[in-house]
């Protein structure tokens, strides 16, 4: 077979040279609109903004001092206007600031040092509105005072992840759970044939099965809601070495604790150079578990659609298949499955990798943590797809009823259980109930008349016989409706 001579093919224009830049990944390309809220929290720019936030608040803390006096002797106190100016550097950090910081980093070849120099520039350029007496140009050496880069980074990541969880992921996850719960309540009384091991089994209701999934997901949401976000500020090896040498008279652990808790984080008193990241591992494991339960929902709903239990409401103008015009494909659930798998793979890697650091420090966590955004992004995208997919479903009541009516053998469980109870109560002739129902039903399709005839010949007490004679597969759903009402 002849092979293509690539050297003879025309040179293609480089897509890498197109302006604005083309996204390499789908989250920043095809799916940007769905995951855009995470950019404010988990992007590189968001990381630098939080670094600025931490540096500014550390500078304010050092100049404010404590009840026992200044943290660093001789440090001036900042006026309210000066503090507001510094905090405004954080709140207004956007396009121009991002570009300037990137330019500085090209010189420093160090991201945290670039943040330090960026802030020092703002101190030196304190506006005239602050007056000639402003102390800001003279406090530059308090920026990043006694800090290692990880003092800034660990606090920044904790603030970033907390914001992403509390402001973006949790609202989306909670809305999804409530949507599923509402569907469960709506369909709590709609009977449906179960399929344990894929085979016809004891009936349930559509609502009860959805309630199980809503309940499982809600437990994981509660775990995520209760997550701790830890932080530390204690120097290059967690000993406050530089702090004590520079200013031996200050109670540095107390200052550190107050500062970290002032950021709304939980203080970690014992670390190496890095905060140990255990809290991140715990959080990502919980979110991955939520993802996996949601994946279970997606595969179950996909299966119910394939069985015809759910009908999909066509979207006007949409194409299901490029060649088969009749099809309405369950693409939202398939898309969700794929994105949940990608998210879990990233979250599992984050969770496993971040708990280990060689001796007092290595840099595996640095590049690893830069993938927190994609991990959350694929989960958020999946949540959005499931929500949209569920909105386009309708229960196929007629098919559910036909399916139940075609499987009267599932009442074998009910009849043999009633026979056992009657035997315990002293009724004669109830021997071998399981075996007798097995002989009647296993591998056979029976009718309602077959089942009623069998029950009539058992010699059960009249009230029990009447109860069983009135039962149908559609009415044999136990306490399903009550369970949804009471426990969801």
Residue 230's SS3 state is: strand
Q: Are 80 and 86 in contact (CB under 8 A)?
A: no
Instruction: Choose, from 94, 110, 306, 321, the residue flagged as catalytic.
Output: 321
- Give CA angle at 36 (31, 37), nearest 5°: 140
- List the one residue out of 218, 217, 356 whose CA is nearest residue 280: 356
Report d(CA 258, CA 262) in Å as an integer.
Answer: 6
- Give CA angle at 385 (384, 389), nearest 5°: 120
Token readout for 229 is 């976000």
What residues pair up with 266 in beta bridges, in sequence order?
A: 230
Q: Which residue has the tokens 């559509």?
A: 206
Helix H or strand E encompassing 6 = none
Contacts of 243 by beta carbon, 8 Å cutoff, 6+ apart: 146, 234, 235, 250, 252
Instruction: Choose, from 197, 226, 322, 326, the residue flagged as catalytic.
Output: 197
CA atoms within 13 A on the CB side of 470: 6
Q: Is 226 a catalytic residue?
A: no
Q: Are 35 and 149 in contact (CB under 8 A)?
A: no
Burial string for 49-71 (b: 16+ CB within 10 Å, else e) reads bbbbbbbbbbbbbbbebeeeebb
Q: Is 321 a catalytic residue?
A: yes
Q: Which are the catalytic amino acids?
A: 197, 321
């Amino acid at each position: 077979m002849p092979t293509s001579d690539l050297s003879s093919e025309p040179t293609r224009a480089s897509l890498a040279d197109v302006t604005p830049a083309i996204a390499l990944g789908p989250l920043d390309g095809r799916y940007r609109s769905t995951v855009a809220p995470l950019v404010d929290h988990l992007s590189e720019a968001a990381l630098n903004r939080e670094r600025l936030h931490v540096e500014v608040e550390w500078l304010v803390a050092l100049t404010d001092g404590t009840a026992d006096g200044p943290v660093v002797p001789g440090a001036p106190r900042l006026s309210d206007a000066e503090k507001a100016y510094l905090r405004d550097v954080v709140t207004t950090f956007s396009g121009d600031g991002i570009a300037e910081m990137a330019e500085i980093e090209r010189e420093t070849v160090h991201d945290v040092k670039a943040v330090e120099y960026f802030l020092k520039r703002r101190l030196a350029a304190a506006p005239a509105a602050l007056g000639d007496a402003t102390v800001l140009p003279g406090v530059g050496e308090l920026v990043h005072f006694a800090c290692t880069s990880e003092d800034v980074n660990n606090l920044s990541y904790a603030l970033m992840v907390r914001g992403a969880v509390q402001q973006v992921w949790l609202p989306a996850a909670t809305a999804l759970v409530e949507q599923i719960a509402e569907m469960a309540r709506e369909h709590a009384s709609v009977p449906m044939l179960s399929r344990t091991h894929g085979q016809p089994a004891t009936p349930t209701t559509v609502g009860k099965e959805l309630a199980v999934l809503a309940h499982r997901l809600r437990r994981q949401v509660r775990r995520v809601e209760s997550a701790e976000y830890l932080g530390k500020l204690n120097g290059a090896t967690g000993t406050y070495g530089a702090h004590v040498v520079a200013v031996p008279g200050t109670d540095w652990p107390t200052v550190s604790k107050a500062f970290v808790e002032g950021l709304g984080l939980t203080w970690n008193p014992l670390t190496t150079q890095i905060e140990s990241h255990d809290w991140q591992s715990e959080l990502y494991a919980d979110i991955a578990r939520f993802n996996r339960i949601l994946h279970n929902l997606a595969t179950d709903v996909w299966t119910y659609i394939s069985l015809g239990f759910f009908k999909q409401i066509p979207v006007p103008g949409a194409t299901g298949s490029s060649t088969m015009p009749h099809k309405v494909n369950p693409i939202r659930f398939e898309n969700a499955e794929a994105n949940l798998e990608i998210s879990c793979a990233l979250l599992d890697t984050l969770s496993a990798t971040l708990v280990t650091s060689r001796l007092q420090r290595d840099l595996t966590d640095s590049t690893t943590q830069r993938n927190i955004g994609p991990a959350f992004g694929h989960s958020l995208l999946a949540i959005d797809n499931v929500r949209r997919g569920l909105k386009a479903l309708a229960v196929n009541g007629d098919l559910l009823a036909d399916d139940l009516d075609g499987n009267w053998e599932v009442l074998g469980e009910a009849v043999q259980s009633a026979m056992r109870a009657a035997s315990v109560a002293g009724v004669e002739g109830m021997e071998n109930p399981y075996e007798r129902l097995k002989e009647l039903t296993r591998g056979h399709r029976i009718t309602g008349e077959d089942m009623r005839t069998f029950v009539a010949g058992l010699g059960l007490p009249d009230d029990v016989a009447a109860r069983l004679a009135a039962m149908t597969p559609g009415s044999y759903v136990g306490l399903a409706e009550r369970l949804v009402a009471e426990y969801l």
